[in-house]
Amino acid sequence: MEVFVAALISDIATGVGALPFLFIYRVGPRWNGLAAAAASGMMLSASVFALADKALHRGRAVDVILGMLAGALFFAWTAKVVEKQHWHLGDWSESDSRKSILVIATMFVHSVPEGIAIGVGYATGEYKFGLLLAAAIAVHNIPEGTAVSLPLRARGASVWSCFWYAVLTSLPQPLLAVPAFLLTSVFQPLVAPSLGFAGGAMIFLVMSELLPESLQSCSRTDTAWGVTLGLVGMLGFTAILGL
């Protein structure tokens, strides 16, 4: 139940990213780029200094490496499948729907390894580690919710529609966190490669989606500062929790 609640809060945090549109109609592209950069730094920090580091203390390096490569391959494959679809959003045309659907689908897919990461984090038996991963993912879900809401709001969607679409993109987190927790709790040898899998998927996501998005919206200097501050901030959060 604790794992489910933590993952559910992380899911709902994505919807928080839509709430600024109650007061402003649109967010400038530079802010969106900075948010993507900061989320990238946080996810890189969590992937390398939390997931991979903990995995190396619980299994062989080769298992961790193979797990990370499997996670990257999983995200690359699912993202390619999503791009080939021709879906419509409501009564919008395919061209109007494409940007929103691509963002929603991409965020939905990359929430899968995040849900697994939360469950595996708690399965290690370290409460603080599971809490760190859940909190880190919840915090970085907020700017993701803003990114999901931007194209929707620009085409006239209501704020509450943006909120629920944002929550939908992170639905895999509460749905997969508990199964991942139960599976790795029973089969402890899976903990190390599972942590590597989640880390590899998130690293690939950062490099293939978030950083290019940031560089399109703001300068390289802005992106560099956003990544740096996000990474350093996550390291500080890790230190506060004593991990």
Structural tokens at position 131? 């809490």
- The CA distance from 86 to 189, in Å, is 40
User: Is the CB of residue 71 less than 8 Å from the CB of residue 131?
Assistant: no
User: Is the CB of residue 213 less than 8 Å from the CB of residue 151?
Assistant: no
Average pLDDT, the chain: 80
SS3 46: helix
Higher pLDDT, 86 or 117: 117
Domain region containing 55: 2-240
Q: Quick one: 18 exposed, middle or buried, by C-beta within 10 A (0-12, 13-18, 19+)?
A: buried
Q: Which of 41-45, 155-159, 203-207 has the lowest mean pLDDT?
A: 155-159
54-59-65-68 Cα dihedral, nearest 10 degrees: -50
CB atoms under 10 Å from CB of 104, counted, come to 21
* Tally of structural domains, the chain: 1
Residue 178 has pLDDT above 80, yes or no: yes
Residue 50 has pLDDT above 60, yes or no: yes
Structural tokens at position 217? 């919206």
Structural tokens at position 201? 């998927």
Residue 240 has pLDDT above 80, yes or no: no
The percent of residues in the chain predicted with pLDDT above 90, rounded, is 14
Phi, psi of 100 (to 5 degrees): -65, -45
Q: What is the pLDDT of residue 238?
A: 65
CB atoms under 10 Å from CB of 94, counted, come to 11
Alpha helices in the chain (DSSP H): 2-16, 29-45, 53-56, 61-83, 94-123, 127-154, 159-169, 172-186, 191-205, 211-217, 220-240
Q: What is the pLDDT of residue 242?
A: 56
Query: pLDDT tens, 88-134?
Result: 666 666 655 666 676 677 677 767 777 887 887 888 777 777 887 78
Residue 31 has pLDDT above 80, yes or no: no
